[in-house]
Structure 1
Amino acid sequence: MKKIKFLSFSVLCFIAIAITLILGITPSFSQSNSSERVQFFCRKTFDKASQENLPSTVAWIPEKRGHIRIIVWKSEAWLGWTPQQRCEAVSPKFQKFYDNGQLNYLTNGKVKGYPVICAVDTEGDKCSKDHQLFQLKNQRDGELVIYRLTNLLEGGGGDFPLYQSSGQQRYVSIPKLLVNAPTIEEENQLNNKN
């Protein structure tokens, strides 16, 4: 009798551990795929240039039933932050600004003398600490980062009519990019054909 109880307990423990491991492997995908709203989160994606999986800020787009890679975090030496830490810190900011209706445009600017990328409501809004998504290295040019973000979201395509400017300020329309950018799944299919 004691042996049967022990065996039953062992089987139940094994099943519980197996379920925990299975659910723990892909929680962000299973959660994001069931949502009918745009969701931003951090997940590793394959970087073709380095041939490795890197932390990325990703958006789930329900209309596309797919994920869009927003930022691939590569820089190792950034004020003591690892790429994974930056990804985990910035991805929820995208979600917060999106949920508050403040992620209509990405733009560049300066906060406390440092170049930053910000989420703003309307074209013409300036960066502020309240709208800062992430800080850049001192020598980085915010306009160049906005251009590269646009290019990344467009799948590396040519000029797209989504890149606006107002004087020195550049604006990237996030709603248009979320609709027009290729999904990670589409990129993978293309890469598998080549």
Structure 2
Amino acid sequence: MKRTLITTLALTLTTTIITAAFINSNSHQVKAESTVQFLCRSSYDEDQGTRLPTTLAWTSRGKIAVIRWVKELGGKSPQERCEKISPRFQEAYQKGTLSLITNGRINNQPVICTAKEYGGKCETLLMTLRPGDNSLQMLNSLVETLNGRGVGPIKHSSGVPQVYYQVYIDDFLQTAPVEKE
């Protein structure tokens, strides 16, 4: 009787450990598959009929265009801006702050950044805008895109109040159209 009980307990414990290991390895696999990378790559813009530097979110579903870079800022080409800003989206996504974005001013320049809480300070600077850009308009366009209501990626070619928006970035990454090659 004791041997049977010990054997049963040993088998149960072994089964539990194997099951836990299987579940754990599958959850890592799902996490690995759901990894998101924000990168700067060239992608085709149908409106202009040409390829433009684009901040893309690479997901398990494919690549999703977030921002197409059209104009320069401070002597930096659209390509340079794309290469500099795309990693900022990655940083904010990894920090978990990309879900709350706001507009503001840093060094007297209009900016789009992330915040940890409503009314909070900028945590991750996403992009500096041109002096004439309306940060609220740019923020609204970005929010429309990230909340799946935009008609595609925004184009950075555009006394403003500061506004905070909740963004459901994971929903966007699951439902936004993926880029065609």
Q: TM-score range by the shorter chain?
A: 0.5 to 0.7
Aligned to 1:125: 120
Distance 1:173-1:123 versus aligned 2 partners, 3 A rule: farther
1:140 and 2:133 aligned: yes
Aligned to 2:176: 182
Per-residue deviation, 1:116: 0.3
8 Å contact 1:60–1:66 — kept in the other structure?
Answer: yes
Identify the structure with bigger relative contact order (alpha carbons < 8 Å, sequence gap 6+): 2
1:71 and 2:67 aligned: yes
- Alignment length (residue pairs): 140
Give the Cα separation in 1 of the matches to 2:164 and 2:174: 19
The one-letter code sitting in structure 2 at the alignment partner of 1:72 is R
Per-residue deviation, 1:95: 0.9
Distance 1:44-1:149 versus aligned 2 partners, 3 A rule: same
1:100 and 2:95 aligned: yes
Per-residue deviation, 1:181: 4.8
8 Å contact 1:109–1:126 — kept in the other structure?
Answer: no
List gaps (5 residues or longer) in structure 2: 1-31, 152-160
Larger radius of gyration: 2
Tell me the SS of whatever aligns to 2:64.
strand
8 Å contact 1:146–1:170 — kept in the other structure?
Answer: no
Per-residue deviation, 1:89: 0.5
8 Å contact 2:57–2:64 — kept in the other structure?
Answer: yes
Aligned to 1:116: 111
Length-normalised TM-score, structure 2: 0.67
Per-residue deviation, 1:101: 2.1
- Please give the root-mean-square deviation of Cα atoms over the aligned residues, in Å: 2.5
Decide which of 59, 62, 84 is 1:61's aligned counterpart: 59
Per-residue deviation, 1:126: 3.0
Per-residue deviation, 1:85: 0.4
Decide which of 42, 46, 49 is 2:47's aligned counterpart: 49
8 Å contact 1:104–1:122 — kept in the other structure?
Answer: no
Q: How does 1:82-97 map to 2 (within 5 A)?
A: 82-97=77-92
Per-residue deviation, 1:36: 3.2
Aligned to 2:167: 173
Q: Deviations over 1:82-101 (max 9, x none)?
A: 00000000111111121122
8 Å contact 1:106–1:174 — kept in the other structure?
Answer: no
The one-letter code sitting in structure 2 at the alignment partner of 1:56 is T
Q: Deviations over 1:35-94 (max 9, x none)?
A: 5311110111111221111001111233xx122211110003x21100000000011111
